[in-house]
A and B are shown apart, each in its own frame.
Chain A
Amino acid sequence: GAVVSQHPSRVICKSGTSVKIECRSLDFQATTMFWYRQFPKQSLMLMATSNEGSKATYEQGVEKDKFLINHASLTLSTLTVTSAHPEDSSFYICSAIRTSGGEYEQYFGPGTRLTVT
């Protein structure tokens, strides 16, 4: 089946630095990917929609200048957390849409655990 990968699986960074998280669709092309954030014991919160070749669409309350999204190819979207702070520590999950024979399926990545110290 379709697979979505994320890299790294976990990262620890110091406050004030930037961190890049990659989301790749391994065996299909995805014009649309999504980025979610999940805090402990909470549900997934949609952050933004990443569209290949165009600017990302951010959900209300998500700072676009802090969470930079680049969808440069049909198999790769990146999320960069700029000037990270401890409150940005969270589990970041991406998903990708695969179209096949007129049907659409959404696959989730395994997530990236970000810890900001």
Chain B
Amino acid sequence: GENVEQHPSTLSVQEGDSAVIKCTYSDSASNYFPWYKQELGKGPQLIIDIRSNVGEKKDQRIAVTLNKTAKHFSLHITETQPEDSAVYFCAARPPNQGGKLIFGQGTELSVKP
């Protein structure tokens, strides 16, 4: 079955710097890759997603890139702000499995003012 690996597990950056989180997946048939942000005491919230027919997607300060050949995708956050501090999860959705998501282990991002 699908397996998702996420790195790094923790990331600390200065306010204004960029942050990059990387994930790899094992099932080449997976076709949907969302990124979730989880703040303390809350459920994960979708911040951006990308489908397998697209290589890059951007939404203001966040962007996601997908390399299908290498089976990896990355989250890029530019001009980081303290409110970006949270745990970020990548996920992959294998096909024909009802929409289940396989999550990475999470990255705890800390943005220092």
Tell whether A and B belong to one assembly.
no
Which residues of chain A have a CB within 8 Å of any CB of chain B? none
Q: Using a CB–CB distance below 8 Å, which chain B residues touch chain A? A: none
